[in-house]
Amino acid sequence: MTTTSASDDLDRWIRNDFVALNTRLEEAYFAADAQILHGRPELETVKRRIGSEGAELVGRITESGAPRSLPTGDDERYELLGSVGFYLGACRRHEIEGPQSAAWPLAQLLGSSLGVVPRFVFAHQVLYNRAVGDTFRTFTALDDERAFLLYNGLSMLAYQRTAAALRRVPALGVSSPLTAYLLREARSGLDDVLDLGRTLSKTLDVDRFFLNIRPYFKAHRVGGVEYRGVNGGDFAAINSIDVLLGLCSPYDPFYQALLTEKYPYLPPEDQALLRATGTAEPLLDAFVREATAGPITPQLRDNAELFLTVCRLHGAASAFHHHRLVVPFLQAPAARAPQEQGQGQESEAADLTTSGPPLHVVMGTLARLVDLRTARQRPGTDGGGSARPSLDRLRYALDAAPRSGLRTDDRSTDDRSTDDRS
């Protein structure tokens, strides 16, 4: 048996029997309104099948000659790490102990060959998840899981489109007519993020998410090391946008810690993009510099108005994520949920989130990100790190300068209010 056919067998199992087995367990948990059930013989049989069938299939890959014959392409190895990771994630979710250790050496080898953590991350679920017969890999056959991955994945693509446009602006300068095109592209990407978030919030069932989807994202061990769980923020574009706009600073220790922590959880190509974050002048600084030096030409004015709209949309999307997704889909059900078996209050709270800290700490971090992205200065603080003073300076410079001539492009002056978006 070659590594390729052994990998294909694992892939086929992940896409078929694995999905059916997980779905059976999830339906039983959901019917009992429980996060997990123990001691029901028919369910224990299903859990044992997941543990042993997965271990056998991964074992065949290891026996068939890895590391000599692991796929040479980074993409194939990353995909294989995703398949092994799906298996390990399901074992953690159903609290299957024992057989999954057979998959640790392969996960570690794949992770170290790629420079990433040896577990599945959100990118494996959405951005590096090849569809076969219209269907991408999922843990279950539940419609809610598919919708969660679909709208999350589309939002990530929209953020990536926005970041790709913004990365090109420094080379053109903030008064270029080409920059207007790129800023419109960024605006359109963030409009999509907001629309997709709204669709997700209306489509996803709170209990299904809480009981049947979230538990697959938990932290788990690979070998002697515990790796934190899946985090929807593990991609570089969101940070490129933060820093390029000038709403977050890579010199801010709070923000720096987030970047450092997430680095090994990113796919390899995103790691390179994250390393480049902070190497260009923030657009806000460039706009302030040129607008205060004057004169404010028609193109500079149009670009600056568009830029302010992009900043407002980025803040609105972040506020939406916090108030319309995290609060109703995680914080509210967590407050209602009984403690998971065998866990103390603090570890339960940590288990609800994916990054390790208790829920209130994660909520505090997310709230601070919302403040930075909306440039909100909290009352009673010195507003350290907030872009508000620079945004106000730019707005003042635009309002104070006389308008000269016609606007360069009607489409670029659209300054839609985003008040209703958060």
Q: Which residues bind ligand HEM (CB under 6 A)?
A: 151-152, 155-156, 159, 197, 200, 204, 209, 231-233, 238, 318, 321, 325-326, 329-330, 353-355, 362, 366, 369
Give the largest Cα separation in the chain, rounded: 79
Q: Measured from the CB atom, is 171 or 327 closer to ligand HEM?
A: 327
Q: Measured from the CB atom, is 112 or 343 closer to ligand HEM?
A: 343
- Give how far the C-alpha of residue 80 lies from the chain's centroid of Cα atoms, to the nearest Å: 20
Q: Measured from the CB atom, is 236 or 300 closer to ligand HEM?
A: 236
Q: What H or E segment, with its residue span, contains residue 392?
A: helix 388-400
Which of 222, 253, 31 is CA-nearest to residue 112?
Answer: 222
Q: Measured from the CB atom, is 203 or 408 closer to ligand HEM?
A: 203
* Two structure tokens written together for 189: 């990407």
CB of 395 to ligand HEM, least distance (A): 25
CB of 77 to ligand HEM, least distance (A): 25
CB of 336 to ligand HEM, least distance (A): 15
* Two structure tokens written together for 160: 């990536």
Q: Measured from the CB atom, is 85 or 315 closer to ligand HEM?
A: 315
* Two structure tokens written together for 47: 């859990």
CB of 115 to ligand HEM, least distance (A): 21
CB of 121 to ligand HEM, least distance (A): 12
Exposed, middle or buried by CB within 10 Å (0-12, 13-18, 19+), for 395?
Answer: middle
Q: Measured from the CB atom, is 61 or 193 closer to ligand HEM?
A: 193
CB of 147 to ligand HEM, least distance (A): 10
What phi, psi does 193 have (nearest 5°)? -55, -45
Which of 64, 48, 109, 54 is CA-nearest to residue 84?
Answer: 54
Counting DSSP H helices and E strands in the chain, the numbers are 19, 2
CB of 401 to ligand HEM, least distance (A): 35
- DSSP-assigned beta bridge partners for residue 16: none
CB of 281 to ligand HEM, least distance (A): 22
Q: Measured from the CB atom, is 106 or 237 closer to ligand HEM?
A: 237
Closest residue to ligand HEM: CB criterion: 233
CB of 319 to ligand HEM, least distance (A): 11
**CB count in 10 Å sphere of residue 380:** 6
Residue the block writes with tokens 């069938």: 53
Residue the block writes with tokens 């670009």: 303
Q: Measured from the CB atom, is 78 or 235 closer to ligand HEM?
A: 235
Is 277 in a helix, a strand, or coil? coil
Give the single-character DSSP code of 211: I
The residue type of 181 is Y
Exposed, middle or buried by CB within 10 Å (0-12, 13-18, 19+), for 333?
Answer: middle
* Dist. CA 279–CA 374, nearest whole Å: 23
* Dist. CA 304–CA 291, nearest whole Å: 9
CB of 17 to ligand HEM, least distance (A): 28
Q: Measured from the CB atom, is 3 or 152 closer to ligand HEM?
A: 152
Which of 273, 148, 143 is CA-nearest to residue 217?
Answer: 148
Q: Measured from the CB atom, is 108 or 422 closer to ligand HEM?
A: 422
